[in-house]
Amino acid sequence: MTAYTPSVDETRDQAPEEGARSAHRRTSKGPGKASAWLVFALPALAALACVLPGLGGRQLWRDEHATWWASTLSMHDLGRLIGNIDVVFTPYYATMHLWIMVAGDSPAMLRLPEALAMAVSAGLIGLLGRKMFAVRTGLLAGLLFAVVPAITRYGQEARPYAFATMFALLATLLLLRALDRPSLRTWTLYALAVAATGFSHLVAMSVLAGHLGLVVLAKRRGDRIAHYAFAGAALLGLSITFPMVAQGTGQSGQIAWNVTTAKDLTQFPESLFGSWITGGAVMALGLIGLLAARRYAVLLAAWAVLPPVLTFVTANQLHLFLPRYLLFTIPAWTLLVAAGVTRLTGRLDPRARRGAGVQVIGGLLVTAVAAGYAFVAWPAIGDAKKDLPMEPDYRAAATVIADGERPGDGMIFNGGMSERRAMAYELRDRKAPKDVLMEWTPQQNGSYGATECQRPARCLAGVDRLWLVSTVSDGRPLLTGMAKKTAAAVEKDFRAGHEVKLNHVVVQVLERR
């Protein structure tokens, strides 16, 4: 077999890079290790400073109610649920089931694991930037990630998107280490990280496209085993998740409601980052940063751009073009921005002068960029902690019912906004009126929804007062949307009493005639 001989240009480009790596290895027990702790800790602390305040302030919304419901089921009932729906969230629900047993189910405790995952993600970005480019690059990329408004938004949400981001970052970092120092242990850890990424969210596995690009580049540079090791590790990781993926394909109809239009594409930067100004700035500077990313340009470009493109062009078939599904692409954008900014000071060029003046200017520039972006993003970070404007105010509805409830009262629901599940959460620690129309529970159905009485008059017998919780918005909270037989039975035997209108939800007292 003919030995690989690098070209003159390739040798010129790689020699300083290899020298820098050798110097880093020689000092890994000293300053190198200290810099690793620095680039991990500072972004992680910045993310916690953004995410932890007000963690339980915003009330849960529909998807978080689903997390609570599924995670508080017995393992038997959870098995029945995932047999019909949401099998792709099985690892997350099982983990949250154990967490709730220990920490409880308050909004803050439900969201704390996600907040910690976001903090770890910020730290991992710091380590990635340090390994690919320079310490300041990693530090800036991690800090920029920490103050993106969407990171606060989804760091305060009991859904698995923060974990998908964290494991995608971990897999990328392990890949870099495996290419740098290949070993069975490192490649095995990479395979497990790939599996963890898939278990967190299937869309996040598209980060493998960027990984493949990096491996192809390594092969072209003379690495004779990287592509074989990568293929084996990636296939191992994919095979671990295959049973879940195979079953999930039969449940894809559950997200068929997500109809994508051209407007969704134009609003993508705002939806992904949390505001137009923060998203537009990062994406514009990120595209410029591709010029500074050098050997990592393919990895970061594929990571940032390919998942949105693929999910958009397949939106009519797979219905996966949702910004929260693509949260894991934000790290690639912040790494590109940081690469471009630090390149301006020569920090990415191994041949640049390393004088104290250059270092001071570079430090000031990095600080100014991070502080300026945080200043611009701060109002949107505050908005991310508020109740979602289009979501019903179930917390206030629960307070109205709890304050006025009498022994023997019943409760009925109308609308299509998961009213029953939401009120079950908000009234979980209070004495709630009986759900008089529920004949088959969600647990019995193996679903999120209950089955209501086919003979409503019989189910309403013996109840003198009802609490109607309705999200119907046309001013007819009882009649619109409710089954005709049920609405007729209620109207026949009950008359409307006191009504309280809240944000996108109405609470009305119905008294027997």
One-character DSSP codes across 262-309: HHHHHTHHHHHHSSHHHHHHHHHHHHHHHHHHGGGHHHHHHHHHHHHH
**Confidence tier at 315 by pLDDT (50, 70, 90):** confident
For residue 274, which of 202, 167, 382, 200 has the smallest C-alpha distance?
A: 382
DSSP string spanning 319-337? ----GGGGGGGHHHHHHHH
Whole-number pLDDT of residue 172:
98
Whole-number pLDDT of residue 481:
79
Total domains present in the chain: 2
Residues 351 and 416 in one domain: no
Residues 115 and 233 in one domain: yes
Helix H or strand E encompassing 442: helix 442-445
Tens-digit pLDDT profile for residues 492-509: 999 999 999 999 999 999
Please report, in angstroms and rounded to a whole number, the separation of the first and last CA atoms in the chain: 94
Whole-number pLDDT of residue 22:
42
On whether residue 28 sits in a domain, the answer given is: no
Whole-number pLDDT of residue 359:
65
Tens-digit pLDDT profile for residues 420-439: 999 999 999 988 899 999 99
Residues 325 and 413 in one domain: no
On whether residue 176 sits in a domain, the answer given is: yes
* Domain C-terminal end among 384, 407, 432: 384
Given a cut of 80, whether residue 352 has pLDDT beyond it is no
Whole-number pLDDT of residue 107:
97
Given a cut of 80, whether residue 255 has pLDDT beyond it is no
Residues 186 and 287 in one domain: yes
* Domain C-terminal end among 342, 359, 384: 384
On whether residue 2 sits in a domain, the answer given is: no
On whether residue 344 sits in a domain, the answer given is: yes
Tens-digit pLDDT profile for residues 451-473: 999 999 999 998 999 999 999 87
Residues 282 and 256 in one domain: yes
- Which residues make Cβ contacts (< 8 Å) with residue 113, sequence separation at least 6? 95, 96, 99, 162, 163
Residue 444 domain boundaries: 394-512
On whether residue 245 sits in a domain, the answer given is: yes
Chain CA centroid to CA 52, Å:
16
Tens-digit pLDDT profile for residues 295-312: 999 999 999 999 999 999
Given a cut of 90, whether residue 198 has pLDDT beyond it is yes
Given a cut of 90, whether residue 349 has pLDDT beyond it is no
Whole-number pLDDT of residue 251:
58
- Which of 14-28, 386-400, 424-438 has the weakest average pLDDT? 14-28
The percent of residues in the chain predicted with pLDDT above 70, rounded, is 88
On whether residue 389 sits in a domain, the answer given is: no
Whole-number pLDDT of residue 318:
80
Given a cut of 80, whether residue 13 has pLDDT beyond it is no
The pTM of the full predicted model, rounded to 2 decimals, is 0.89
CB half-sphere exposure, 428, CA atoms < 13 A: 13
On whether residue 355 sits in a domain, the answer given is: yes
Residues 355 and 454 in one domain: no
Whole-number pLDDT of residue 236:
95
The token pair at 453 is 């009485």
For tokens 């970092």, the residue is 173
DSSP 8-state code for residue 213 = H
**Confidence tier at 480 by pLDDT (50, 70, 90):** confident
Residues 351 and 400 in one domain: no
* Domain C-terminal end among 384, 404, 433: 384
- Which of 67-71, 82-86, 137-141, 345-349 has the weakest average pLDDT? 345-349
Given a cut of 60, whether residue 348 has pLDDT beyond it is no
Average pLDDT, the chain: 88
Whole-number pLDDT of residue 142:
97
Given a cut of 70, whether residue 350 has pLDDT beyond it is no
Whole-number pLDDT of residue 144:
96
The token pair at 111 is 């969201």
Rounded to whole angstroms, what are the CA distances from 237 to 191, 198, 210, 240?
5, 8, 16, 5
Residues 200 and 281 in one domain: yes
On whether residue 18 sits in a domain, the answer given is: no
- Which residues make Cβ contacts (< 8 Å) with residue 128, sequence separation at least 6? 138, 141, 169, 172, 173, 176, 331, 335
Whole-number pLDDT of residue 358:
60
Given a cut of 70, whether residue 179 has pLDDT beyond it is yes
Whole-number pLDDT of residue 33:
84
Strand partners, 169: none
Measured between alpha carbons, how far is 263 from 248 in angstroms, rounded to an integer?
Answer: 28
Residues 330 and 409 in one domain: no
The percent of residues in the chain predicted with pLDDT above 90, rounded, is 71
Residues 376 and 445 in one domain: no
Residues 358 and 424 in one domain: no
Residues 191 and 227 in one domain: yes
Whole-number pLDDT of residue 264:
87
Whole-number pLDDT of residue 88:
87
For residue 311, which of 332, 295, 327 has the smallest C-alpha distance?
A: 327
